[in-house]
Structure 1
Amino acid sequence: MSIDVDFSLALNDRTGKLFLGKDIISTLGARVTRVHYGRFHEFPHNDLMRRVVGRLTHKETMARVHRSRLVSLLPAIRDPRPTLHLDPLSVVRHRLEARDIVLCHDVGPITHPQYFAPGVEDLYLQAYEQIRRMKPHMVFVSKTSQREFHRLYGNDFASSNVIYIPTRLGVKEGEGCPLDGVSRRFLLTVGSIGDRKNQARCIEAFSASGLVEKGWQYVIVGGREPGADVAIELARQSPGVVMPGYTKDEELRWLYRNASGFVLMSLLEGFGMPVIEAIEHDLPCLVSRASILTEVGGDAMLCADPLSRESIAYGMHSLAEMSVDERVRRISEARAHLQVFAREPILASWRALVEKVG
């Protein structure tokens, strides 16, 4: 069985989607005949070209969604082989067929458009409408995302499978480098900063928890997304909160190795890979109650209501004051749960799916 893969997201995306895409293409090996990066079949050789190709690909996507007359001169992509789309948005540039495979991380741009940049909802509405009409093989990274998708678009697709994101190689390897301004006990949050990740409410909760008076810090690392300005300004005004933005790999390793606990109170998540990374570093975790994060982390997670400052504050205090015995028990249970995300069985599921579809 041979397939093509649309990996256009690699032109602009530097999140876990990028690493997952690389893993999938690598494990499929010779089964992959061609990889699409927009209209190109090779990844650009330098950063300038990557940005140019990414820009052109985005412009074509926008033109197709808004039905510009210019795109009538450029036919939709259709290969003779089935195509694996590593992001739903790429189907807009293709002539989608039922034999194709679409990987869906979440339907957040449809269900929670307020957490995304203006215009993103329109792009994904068009992509999901094409998917609804053609009913290809669907793959989801969680049961939560699968349920939400089928609630919106029905169940009569060629197939529907959940294949989790595997643990990443080398997460714990390499030297660590201390981060300036972090010098005492601290809780850690890793993820894009903005409304979706709920850092502003977490900062308020930390300030209300009484931990700063006991010598604790709260460290938040990540890039910006919509709503970041509010969280950044609140961090500046809040004693004990450190928000350095992006960190180098060696600084992130040091933070994971030296934190006392991990906090992720997202209002919307595609998967929550930082929770897995925190568990791999033996950190007890506080996550959003009844969310995909409890599916990813398992029963060992401390949970709080992400909309309640008081609930988050209580959870942070519980995390900081956790006894040694409870800490050992929760870490042991969480690490056992990580077997669900073991690399080889997950990558074998991708190989089996491609063979089955063929």
Structure 2
Amino acid sequence: MKWISLALFVGLLSSSIAQEIDIMVSGNIFNAETDSVYLAQRSGDGISNIEGTKIKKSGDFKIETKVANPDFYILRIGSSKIDLILREGSAIKVYGDGSNIEKFCNIVGSDESASMNEFTREKNAWVAYVDSVNAVIAADPTQQNALRGQFQQKQQGYQALVRAFVQNNQNSAALYTIQSIIDPNLDFEGYESITKQLMAGFSESPTVQEEYSKMEKLKADKLAKDPLAPGKMAPDFTEAMADGQMLSLSDLRGNVVLLDFWASWCGPCRRENPNVVALYEKYKDKGFTVMSVSLDKDKAKWLAAIEKDNLTWPNHVSDLQFWQSKAAKLYGVTGIPFTVLIDQEGKIIRTKLRGPQLEEELSRILGDS
């Protein structure tokens, strides 16, 4: 199913799953600060209890009930709580310390719930560490340099933990705990990827459906504001070639054009050039060309790099203004290499394509035969 049709799918799905499901949550809790345990769910800005039961003197408890939908739920013991992922027929056992069940618990019968809570513990530990460092620096700003090395080391460890969790829980409902810490304004691609994986793995969840709808709206708003969004006309510009003649992007209309921002001093650009050369040779007779915009300051070095890297297409331009390049500013370039693939009508296909992704897109558009 294509993602573009998923909104309709979700609408149909919502009407088909509005039915209760049977679940059971049981286990043993010690050191509980209360004699009751509750199954609850987040509601708006709060948490609403669904079903409760008494904890026996032995610590055993059992909640066997129906809930409205497969979704994310909460098990509450006093002020302590853990998250549970409940599906049709879920039978989950929870064993733990009721005084701090977030930190000390074992979940059996739901690998997703166990994984989510294990990561949540690590996440909470990281947040507590960051808060402690900020408190120390606030009290004594001179400690900032002394703490920097340790902080960076712990930060790298936490980031590695996040990457491993995402890799090991692809399309799992447990990714919900990751989605909650991603700021879509800072990392929309990561936010979109996690939300799509949640939909793939837990589409029957109303919470996931709501999050997916939010993501789609954010994406639509983002694309509407993005001058380089796919389907929009590529901004036209005119710059000088090496011989002084002027070349406009629109002069290449009728071709599939790779607009490539690069420079002789850019290592990643030079390493990518052999791939661009190979693709140019493969597709140039099918209407593909390259327009290279250099951010060089030294004309001799620019031309030497063109020759050394065997960039045989004729469309090389530069105003030799480094990062003040007018074309680079027009396209919002903040790092190179930066590419824009443009269709025969001058409309943007995609940006930031390199290596295999670029080859795959050209193959899709122009074919391999």
* TM-score in terms of structure 2 length: 0.28
Structure with greater strand percent:
2
* TM-score in terms of structure 1 length: 0.29
> Rg bigger for which structure?
2
